[in-house]
């Protein structure tokens, strides 16, 4: 029987809902981090999400961070990103390291940049010299074209297209299958299926 322990960095997931399940899938396939558990509401401690236990609530983060210095926010962003942003700042204050998580099924150009705490989901495409800010979700099959900038705390939803040179301002929700004209600036709530221009 093997007694070898995993040498992968251990990571805590913050939030145990639907988006968490999708991020778990990415982390498992990426195989760079070992998920040690999930932090959620106090009354959910002990429950299970895809085989991973909810091991604490926000009040436990300072203590958990002593043993497990890596974390990622796994709460989604549809109506509001206020909780995602609050948790991201809390993790920063507690000196957690928040890596970018990139699915091996996604394509991120070596000439692109993805900042801390952002997740690039399966089959997303981030093209040359595109920039993705902190704490973003680039969801399944989203396309971020060349020279585009996605600022901090944005959610680019499933199948959305951010065309070349577009600037998506911070805190924007960019709906599923929305698209944009080239070299425009978009912000706020971009409705699913719409054209941002």
User: Tens of pLDDT along 9-30?
Assistant: 999 999 999 999 999 999 999 9
Better pLDDT: 1 or 106:
106
Query: Is the model's pLDDT at 2 over the cut of 50?
Result: no
Cα dihedral sign, 97-7-28-10: negative
Which residue, of 76, 93, 110, is where some domain finishes? 93
24 & 49 share domain? yes
Given this model, what pLDDT does residue 172 score? 97
C-alpha dihedral, 145 to 146 to 148 to 153, nearest 10°:
60
Residues spanned by the domain of 57: 10-93
Give the per-residue pLDDT at 7.
87
Please give the Cα distance from 41 to 38 (Å, whole number): 10
**Does residue 20 fall inside a structural domain?**
yes
Structure tokens, 22: 């999708």
Q: Is 46 exposed, middle or buried (0-12, 13-18, 19+ CB in 10 A)?
A: exposed
């Amino acid at each position: 029987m093997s007694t070898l322990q995993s040498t992968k960095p251990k990571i805590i997931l913050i939030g145990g809902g639907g988006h968490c399940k999708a991020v778990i899938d990415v982390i498992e396939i990426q195989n760079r981090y070992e998920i040690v558990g999930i932090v959620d509401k106090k009354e959910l401690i002990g429950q299970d999400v895809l085989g991973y236990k909810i091991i604490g609530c926000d009040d436990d983060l300072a203590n958990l961070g002593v043993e497990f210095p890596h974390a990622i926010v796994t709460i989604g962003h549809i109506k509001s990103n206020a909780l995602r942003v609050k948790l991201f700042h809390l993790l920063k204050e507690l000196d957690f390291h928040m890596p970018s998580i990139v699915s091996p099924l996604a394509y991120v150009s070596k000439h692109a940049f993805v900042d801390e705490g952002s997740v690039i989901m399966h089959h997303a495409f981030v093209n040359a010299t595109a920039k993705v800010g902190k704490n973003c979700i680039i969801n399944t099959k989203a396309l971020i074209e060349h020279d585009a900038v996605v600022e901090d705390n944005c959610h680019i939803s499933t199948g959305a297209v951010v065309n070349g040179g577009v600037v998506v301002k911070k805190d924007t929700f960019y709906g599923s299958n929305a698209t944009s004209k080239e070299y425009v600036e978009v912000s706020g709530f971009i409705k699913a299926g719409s054209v941002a221009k």
